[in-house]
Structures are given as structure tokens and as C-alpha cells.
Amino acid sequence: MSTVSATLKTAPAGNASALLLVLKLRTFIALIAVTLFFALMAPNFVSVANAVIISKHVAINAILAIGMTYVILTGGIDLSVGSIVGLTGMVAGGLLVHGIPLPMLGVIVYPNVIEVVLISLLVGTAIGAINGLLVTKLGVAPFIATLGTLYVARGAALLLSGGATFSNLVGRPELENQGFPVIGSGTVLGVPVSVIILIIMALVAAYVAQRTPFGRKVYAVGGNERAAALSGVRVDRVKIAVYMISGFCAAVVGLIVSSQLVASHPASGNTFELNAIAAAVLGGTSLSGGRGLIGGTIIGAFVIGVLSDGLVMMGVSEFWQMVIKGLVIIAAVVLDQLQRRLAANTRQG
Amino acid sequence: MSGIVLSARNITKAFPGTVALQDVDFDVHAGAVNVLIGENGAGKSTLMKILAGVERPTLGSLTMEGEPVSFSSIRDAAGKGIGIVFQELNLCPNLSVTENIFLGRDITRAGFHIDRAAQKRRAAELVAKLEHDIDPDALVGDLMIGEQQIVEIAKALAEDARVLIMDEPTSALSASEVEVLFKVIGELKRAGVAIIYISHRLEELIRIGDHFTVLRDGRLAASAPRSEVSIPWIIEKMLGAGEVVAKRPPAAPPGPPLLEVQNLTLPRRGQGLAVDDVSVSFRPGEITAIYGLLGAGRTELFESLYGLRSGATGSVRLGGEELAGRSVNRRMKAGLLLVPEDRQRDGLLQNLSVGGNLGIASMGRFTRFFSISRAAETPLLSQVISQLHIKTAGPDAPITSLSGGNQQKVVIGKSLLTQPRVLLLDEPSRGIDIGAKAEVFSTMRDLADQGLAIVYTTSDLKETHAVADRILVMAYGRITADLRAEEASDEALVRASTHKIDEPELA
Ligand SMILES: Nc1ncnc2c1ncn2[C@@H]1O[C@H](COP(=O)(O)OP(=O)(O)OP(=O)(O)O)[C@@H](O)[C@H]1O
Ligand SMILES: [Mg+2]
């Protein structure tokens, strides 16, 4: 008969379950509410052009948040994704502009765009693997391990160019490495390529999480690691895999960002990890692991994206934007707790 | 059909600080129930973990059907046909019943697409085989502990193992559920499966065991076929001497009612009542047993009294003070204390030492100014450790190094340190051996004689008589009998425990 539940208890059962449904769908409702709000308040908010811009912004955060969700589902966290975005962008930029010099042969090899993409993805995934190995084999807490790689990867990105930007990443015909900007700026039937990448990745990620043995194991590790291990789940492998997924997602974003700007800057991706965590949490992912859905995360990323762009269009100052974003995140977590208590209550009677 | 499938020779297992097993031989007969008995900490679970690939022996060898084997992991052992139901429940609370049953060995199409329909069907079959109607889609975290144990058993059955280890599978099951399990064990036996069965309930063992092995202090004490075994034999081999537990009468007649409960009601999810209008009172100096079947509402009654169930209505007065609506903390301060049923989950802090766990609820007693005084703490802790005969290297040993039964004693010890006036013990004897049980019961009597009101639940008829002065029976959320221990016959108790009052079907 604690105070919070006492007030809930007085509501008839029908109301309680309706309230529960509203709370369950809260992120989705929030998305609709935020969109309606800006549609009314901000001129030109509802337009195809704006929808394209917002979805391109959202794609970047949402792709990172997909990887982040996997990591959080196992009870971990990945703070290094922002730095991986910067580093993989620099790797791609460096390969396009300077190629791979092979001094003993006296030649410089210029990989084509496909190869550049594959190498960058490999770098991101490898950093993820290092995170995973640190967490599992060396027993470093995920927060610390990925905080370390956050610094290392950012430093490496700066070292690659001595802090300078690789610009004009269009490639050269004689080197046969043109076409890189398509990733960030191309469209298919009017839909930006980056948004198509997001849609594919989200579908695959949701499928893997819900319908494959691997996904099941991810949830199991987050729910009760020991039980998972005793059920024959190779916990270490699952954990290494989720950090690799997160590193891969970050590399995809690194490519998209540098392609969009047609330049790679070593500082790009700074603090992206916070937005990714925010999207996952807004979408209902529990930071203690074992609970959350890819779909929720995507909606969470849209809430953040619509909110940011809408506030900009309304001319709200950047400072207020931060305050509002913070409040929304706190509100999300409070509602999450409320939902859980209510669910527990209806369960007990 | 009764060849030896698996045998262990000269097994020794050393942990830092303890030798859990020393030079133990163990044979597992096919198509038979191989019983393993021993006191808490005798090394039973350790031996089973070695057979199931969870732990590796320090010395010794395993042979399976004549071939030497060594299991590198639990997967490896499972691949060779060894399944295990662990003593502690090992389930993921965030996954459904089906998902838990198939965790680590999902039924897939094309190797990656989980066939949910097939899994659900199979899960429902397994649960039905155990004569239960647990929803395969229910979250395991929402199930009662007895239901979780059913899931754990279903999980092991799903493997079609050739050797099936059951480490205290019935500790949270009621008599009728045990019957069903025995039926299933009988079927498995006929199919040639070798079953290894561990339990502290001796009558159970005598009924179903074919081969008996007794461990004492990590060594093989005896091993014999059923025909040579009797309960006195087991007790003698286990303890080293024939020990009988005599019931002690109360030192003084009970006082006036201390805890008074009126019209306590707790609705159940969906419809119906988990606790149905219970009015009862408990007196200091008196030990009351609450007997009932799984799901009778005993745990719910305790949790409502203790303030853990927010849906509960009615009056709970302790020494005249109204507790309804008060927080758990306030109820504790008033002198009410609950020792929960699921001690692994609710009772222990895995990251603290034995001493840290014992002292956690009563730190005020040995805090001097702002810091915990070791000088004040140590004697109290040592006293509880010896009072309950907790088998541990000392207060600084990690709690995880204790055997299952000894961990349970720590939880009971923890509550004793808070000096309660009313002690509610939910299944206090679950998973502890007869020696420890006698100690716990004797401690309960001591506490009652010191003026506490003691209330405990049990699903074991013999335990109702072992210590109680008064026996209540619960069924379908109601109290269906309230008897003096002398006048409570087994027959009367069982009849009352299945007694339905007007209420139709409570799921
Ligand atoms: N991981 C471990 N580290 C240190 N000691 C351990 C460990 N596991 C078990 N032990 C010790 O080994 C001994 C045997 O423990 P085990 O769990 O096998 O007992 P058990 O016979 O199953 O007892 P119970 O009936 O209480 O379950 C105990 O003294 C225990 O403290
Ligand atoms: Mg054990």
C-alpha cells in the first residue's frame, strides 16, 4: 500500500489496463504528439522536403542506437560509438584522398569505393571486437572499457591527419574511386540512401533480435547471465558479438556522415553516443539489460529527431533545446517506471 | 537395461580454502533412479556439476559407456546426453516460459529462424506432461517459485537426455506435484534414462530410489541398492550416528494475542482472491505452522502481512499498533519480520561476505557513531554462525562459496539478528538437510520460548508436527482449519488443504 500505487489502485480495473496500454505505447504517442505540435506551431514543418531532412538526421542517430540497443540488452553500454564514427570517417576519407602507400613497391594503391566502404566497416567492427574482448576476457566493466576506446579511437582519428580535415571526397576518374557521396546524398525514388540503409538495418536487427537464437541469447544474457551460461549459452561470444554489431553500426554512420559532408573531420561524431543511448532509453530499453525492442529504439530516435529539428524551426534557442531534450528523457524514464509498477500491480491484483 | 552408463572414479575437487570432494566414486545405472544423499555441504551439487560439465574435477576421471570422457563445458556434456536441473533456479525472468525452455537450443528453420509455433507447442506439451497449466507465453518473472521449478524441470525434459540429473527438484513443489514428477520419472526410467536424484526428503528417496549413494563431508560414506536401504540406514550413514529429533514442548503457555489480522484480502490478477478474508491472531511463545498446497495463498498471506502486496486490504495489528498501509521498513521496526521463500533471489546479496549478509538488516545494532564497529559485530556474527551451524570458513568468506543449504541458514540468521517479535518463515526447511532442519526447528522453539510469535509455512506434513503447537491449513486463499497440534491428524490436514469453499475454480 505504498503511496504511488495506492492512488492507482483506486482506479477501476478497466481504467488501469487502459492506462497501461497508453503507457506502453507512450513513445509512439509522444512521437505523434510532438509531430502534431510542430505541425501547428512551426510554419513549413509539414512538407516533403522537411520530412526528408528530418529522416536523414534521424537515420544517423537511429543506426547508432540499433547497435547500442543490442549492447544495452546484454546489460552493457558502448560509449565509444561517437569516436568510431569519427575514426571510420577518417579512414574512408584518407583512403579516398591519399590511398594506401606501399613504400617498398614505390606505389600508392587507391581502393575503389566498395573497398573503402568494406575497409571502414571492418575497422569499426574490429574496434567493437576489442571492446568485447576487454569486457569479457579481461573483465573490464563495459562503461570503462568503452570509455577507454572512446579516447583511443578519437586520438587515432586525429593522428590519421594530424588533426586536419580530408575534404572533397568525390574521388578522381583516373583513380576509379568516384561515387562516395552517393551514400550520404543519393536518393532512390526520392528516398535518401541513408534512410534506406536505416530501414534495412532496422528490419534485419529487429528480426535477429526477435526471431533468431542469437537474439534470444542476447535477451537471456541481459536477463540472467548465469542462467544463460548454465543453459549452454556462450555468454562471452554473445557479448563480443553485440559490441561488434555496435562498432559496425558506428562505422556505417561514419561513412554516411563523411559522405554527406563530402569531407571527413576527426572531431565528427563527438557525443553521438549520448543521443544513441537516449534513443534506446526513450524507446523503452532498460539499462539493466534484458528488456527493450529495436522498434522502440527507432521510434525513440524519431522523437529526438523531430524534437530537435522542430525546435530549430520554431527558432528556440540551442540552450533551451538542450533543457527540453533532457526533460523529455527524464519523463520517458519516469513513465517507464510508472508502467512497470502499474503492470506489477495489475498482476498482483 | 541396468548397465552403468556413467561412472566417476576417484573424484577430488578442491576450491580455494575447501576440499568439496575427496576421492569419490559414483556409478550411474541406466533405467534406474540413482539417489545421492548427504548433509548440506557434503558435496552433492559439486559432484553433479562435475558430471554435467559445469565444473572440472581437480583429480579423477569419468567414463561413459566404458569410454573415458571429459566434459569441457556444459554444452559438451549436454551434447553427450547429460541433462541437469540445478538446485538453484536458473531462469531468465525477462523471457517467457517457452523461451526459457528452449534457451540455447532453439528449434529453428534453416538454422536461424526460430520456429515459434513449434516451440510453443512443445513447451505446452512438456508443461502438460507435468500436469500443469502454466501459460507458455507467461513471463517467468511473473511465476510463483513452484511454477518456476516446473519450468526448470520441463527445460531439462526437453533435452531427451540419457542421464538426467535432478538436484533437489521438489524443494518448492507440493505433494501432488511431486506425485506427478515421480510418474514422469517412472516413464523416463522405463525408457532407459538414468536419473540422478538429490533430495533431503528421505521418504521421497526411499519411494523412488533404486541405488543409493551417501556422501559425508566430501567423501563417499556408503553406497547400496534399494533392498539394503532404510531411513535409519540413511540417517546413520549421513550423520555418522542414528540421530532422532525429539519435539520440545513450549517452556511456558502462550501469552495474549500479539499479531492480530482482520479481514485480510488480496485480489489475484484477473479475478478471484489470493487471500480471501483471513482473520487470525498469533500469540507470543507459540509456534504456528501453516500447511497447504502450492498456490494456496500462504506466501501471499505472508507478503500481505509484511506490506509487500499493495493490493491488500484489511487490518494488521501488532501489539495494538495498526500496521495496514505502513511500509515494510515500519513493519520491521514494529517487530514483524519475514524470511522469504526464494532465499536465493530475495534474501542474499551475492556480492557481500557471509558476515555482510548476516548483518545487513541489523547494522544499527553494531554501529558506533557513524561507523560499523567490528568489535561489536564479530561476536554477534560468530554467535549466529555457530547457533545455526552454518558451515563456512568464517564471516569474511564470500556468500557464494557456501552450499545451497548453508546459504539458506544465512538468511534465517540475518533475520534473527534483527530481534523481531513476530517471525514469519516461508518454507524455512526448504532445501536444508535433516541435521540443519532439526537445528532450525530447535532455534524456532528457543525463539518462541524467548517470547516471539513464530509462524511458518510448509508443504510437508511431517514438518507441521515436528515443531508446531498449532496448525492452520490454507486452501484457496482461506484458512480451512485451525487445530491444536495434538488434535491434528494427517488425514484432517490433507482434507482441509483440498477443501473448497463455494468459490469456483481459482486458476
Ligand atoms: N565455488 C565454490 N567456491 C568455494 N567453495 C565451494 C564452491 N562451491 C562449493 N563449495 C564448497 O564445497 C562444499 C560442498 O558444496 P555443495 O554445494 O556441493 O554441497 P551440497 O552437498 O550440494 O549441499 P546442499 O545440500 O546444501 O545443497 C561446501 O563446503 C561449499 O562451501
Ligand atoms: Mg547442493
Q: How many helices (H) and strands (E) does chain A have?
A: 15, 6
Sequence-ordered list of residues with C-beta below 8 angstroms from that of A286, at least 6 positions apart, any chain = A72, A292, A336
Res A349: pLDDT: 41
Atom of ligand 1 nearest to the CA of B44: 21
pLDDT at site A149: 97
Cα B441-B444-B448 angle, rounded to 5 deg:
145
pLDDT number for residue B505? 39
B149 touches ligand 1 (CB under 6 Å): no
Cα–Cα distance, A250 to A149 (Å, whole number): 13
Largest CA distance in chain B: 72
Phi/psi region, residue B450 (left: phi>0; alpha: psi -120 to 50; beta: rest), is alpha
Rounded to two decimals, the pTM is: 0.76
Residue nearest to atom 27 of ligand 1 (CA): B404
Out of B11, B12, B13, B15, give the residue to mutate to test ligand 1, the one with the largest number of ligand atoms within 8 Å of its CB: B15
Spell out the domain ranges in chain B: 4-239, 257-335+421-507, 348-419
**CA distances (Å), B361 to each of B94, B120, B384, in order?**
28, 43, 14
Yes or no: say if A41 and A311 are a contact pair by the CB < 8 Å rule: no
Identify the three-state secondary structure at position A167.
strand
The grid coordinates of residue A49 equal 522536403
Task: Look at residues B160, B190, B1, B2 and name the one whose alpha carbon lies nearest to residue B81.
Answer: B160
Interatomic CA distance for residues B195 and B6, integer angstroms? 11
Closest CA to B40 of B212, B168, B203: B168
The Cα-based distances of B338 to B108, B347, B456, B468 in angstroms read 45, 10, 10, 18
Per-residue b or e along B180-201, where b marks 16 or more CB atoms closer than 10 Å to that residue's CB: bbbebbeebbeeebbbbbbbbb
- Pairs from A228-235 (Cβ < 8 Å, separation ≥ 24): A228/B92, A228/B103, A228/B104, A229/B74, A230/B54, A230/B74, A230/B86, A230/B90, A231/B90, A231/B100, A231/B103, A231/B104, A231/B155, A232/B73, A232/B74, A232/B75, A232/B78, A232/B104, A232/B105, A233/B103, A233/B104, A234/B75, A235/A136
User: What was the pLDDT predicted at B149?
Assistant: 85
| Other residues' Cβ atoms within 10 Å of the Cβ of residue B3 | 12
Give the residue from A1, A4, A204, A208 with the most B CB atoms within 10 Å of its CB, the best one to mutate.
A1
What residue in B sits closest to A225 (Cα-Cα)? B92
Instruction: Give CA B270 to chain center in angstroms.
Output: 28
Q: Does the beta carbon of B405 lie inside 6 Å of ligand 1?
A: yes
Closest-CA residue, ligand 1 atom 19, reads B41
Closest ligand by atom to B199 CA:
1
Tens digits of residue pLDDT in A251-297: 999 999 999 999 999 999 999 999 999 999 999 999 889 999 999 99
Cβ neighbours for B131, distance < 8 A, ≥ 6 positions apart: B177, B180
pLDDT, tens only, A201-243: 999 999 999 989 899 999 999 998 988 888 888 999 999 999 9
The answer to whether residue A12 scores a pLDDT higher than 50 is no
Superfamily of the domain at B4-239: P-loop containing nucleotide triphosphate hydrolases (3.40.50.300)
Chain A residue closest to B103 (CA)?
A231
Question: Nearest CA of chain B to the CA of A235: how many Å?
Answer: 11
- Give the closest residue to B178 by CA, choosing from B162, B197, B156, B192: B197
**In sequence order, what DSSP letters do the residues of B157-222 get, joined into one string?**
HTT--SEEEEESTTTT--HHHHHHHHHHHHHHHHTT-EEEEE-S-HHHHHHH-SEEEEEETTEEEE
- For A1, which residue in chain B has the nearest alpha carbon? B310
* B280 min Cα distance to partner chain A (Å): 20
Tell me the three cell numbers of residue B416. Answer: 534473527
Distance, first Cα to last Cα, chain B: 41
- Could you list which residues have their CB under 5 Å from ion ligand 2? B 45, 87, 404
Q: How far is B268 from chain A (nearest CA, A)?
A: 5
**Ligand closest to CA B37:** 1
| DSSP three-state, residue A46 | coil
Number of H helices, E strands in chain B: 16, 24
How far apart, in whole angstroms, are the C-alpha atoms of residue B71 and residue B123? 28
Residues of B in contact with A220 (CB under 8 A): 92, 95, 99, 103-104
Cell triple for A309: 529539428
- Write the CB contacts of B119 (distance below 8 Å, at least 6 apart in sequence): B98, B101, B102, B106, B107
For chain A, the average pLDDT equals 89
Question: Reading across the β-sheet that carries B163-167, which strands appear in turn?
Answer: B82-85, B163-167, B194-198, B33-38, B211-216, B219-225
Which residue CA neighbors atom 28 of ligand 1 most closely?
B41
Cell numbers for B405 = 543449504
Report which protein residue has its CA nearest ligand 1's atom 7.
Answer: B401
Residue to mutate, B37, B46, B412, ligand 1, most ligand atoms under 8 Å from C-beta: B46
Per the DSSP assignment, residues forming a β-bridge with B336 are: B422
Helical packing angle, B175-190 and B145-157, nearest 10°: 0
Nearest chain B alpha carbon to A11:
B311
User: B interface toward A at CB cutoff 8 Å?
Assistant: 54, 73-75, 78, 86, 89-95, 99-100, 102-106, 108, 112-114, 116, 142, 155, 266-269, 273-274, 307, 309-312, 324-327
∠ CA A91-A94-A97 to the nearest 5 degrees?
150
Indicate the residue of A211, A223, A348 with minimum beta-carbon distance to B94: A223
> Residue B242's pLDDT is what?
44
Which residues from chain A sit within 8 angstroms of residue B326, using beta carbons? 1
C-alpha to C-alpha distance for A109 and A101, rounded to whole angstroms: 6
CA A39 remoteness from chain centre? 26
Angle at B119 (CA atoms; ends B117, B121), nearest 5 degrees: 70
Q: How far is B71 from chain A (nearest CA, A)?
A: 13
Cα(B403) to centroid of ligand 2, in Å?
6
The β-bridge partners of B479 are B474
Counting beta carbons within 10 angstroms of the beta carbon of residue B75, is it exposed (0 to 12), middle (13 to 18) or buried (19 or more)?
A: middle
What torsion do the CA atoms of B385, B389, B390, B393 make, to the nearest 10 degrees? 80
Q: What percent of chain A has pLDDT over 90?
A: 60
Distance, in Å, from the CA atom of B68 to the CA atom of B61, rounded to the nearest integer, reads: 7
Per-residue pLDDT, A270: 94
Residue nearest to atom 11 of ligand 1 (CA): B20
- How far are the Cα atoms of B166, B296, B313, B347 from residue B169, in angstroms, in the given order? 6, 20, 35, 20
User: Which segments within B344-412 are labelled E, that is strand?
Assistant: 367-368, 371-372
| CB-count exposure of residue B263 (10 Å: 0-12, 13-18, 19+) | exposed
HEC profile for A77-118? CCCCHHHHHHHHHHHHHHHHHHCEEECCCCEEECCCHHHHHH
Among B350, B401, B434, B437, the mutation site with the greatest number of ligand 1 atoms within 8 A of its Cβ is B401
What is the enclosing helix (H) or strand (E) of A76?
Answer: none
At CA A39, angle to CA A38 and CA A40, rounded to 5?
85
Contacts B327 to A, Cβ<8 Å: 2
pLDDT along chain B (507 residues), means of 10: 84 86 94 90 92 94 92 90 89 93 88 91 91 90 84 88 91 80 90 91 87 92 91 80 63 87 84 84 93 82 89 90 87 86 71 84 72 78 84 86 81 83 87 74 85 88 84 89 86 73 42
Per-residue pLDDT, B174: 76
Taking alpha carbons only, the member of A320, A329, A318, A324 closest to residue A279 is A329
Indicate yes or no: CB of B269 within 8 angstroms of CB of A347.
Answer: yes
B331 vs B458: CA distance, rounded Å: 23
CA distance A29 to A90: 39
**pLDDT tens digits, one per residue of A124-180:** 999 999 999 999 999 999 999 999 999 999 999 999 999 999 998 888 888 888 889
Q: Which residue of B has its CA nearest to A342?
A: B310
Closest residue CA from atom 18 of ligand 1: B43
**CA distance to partner chain A, nearest, from residue B136 (Å):** 16
pLDDT above 80: residue A46: yes
B90:A2 CB<8 A: no
Check for a shared fold between B4-239 and B257-335+421-507: yes
Cell of A336: 517507464
State the pLDDT at residue B32: 94
Nearest ligand 1 atom to alpha carbon B405: 26
- Give the whole-angstrom CA distance, residue B12 versus residue B23: 5
* Ligand 2: centre distance to CA B404 (Å): 5
The per-residue pLDDT for A8 is 37
Give nearest CA residue, ligand 1 atom 2.
Answer: B401
Which atom of ligand 1 lies closest to the CA of B48? 18
State whether residue B423 is helix, strand or coil.
strand
B-chain residues near A228 (CB < 8 A)? 92, 103-104
For residue A10, give the chain B residue with the closest CA: B311
Structural domains present in chain A: 44-336 (1.10.3470)
As a whole number of angstroms, the distance between CA A322 and CA A302 comes to 16
Closest atom, ligand 1, to C-alpha of B215 = 21
Pairing outcome for strands B163-167 and B82-85: parallel
User: What CATH number does domain B257-335+421-507 carry, 3.30.565.10, 3.30.365.10, 3.40.50.300, 3.40.50.2300?
Assistant: 3.40.50.300
- Residue B28's φ and ψ, nearest 5 degrees, are -115, 115
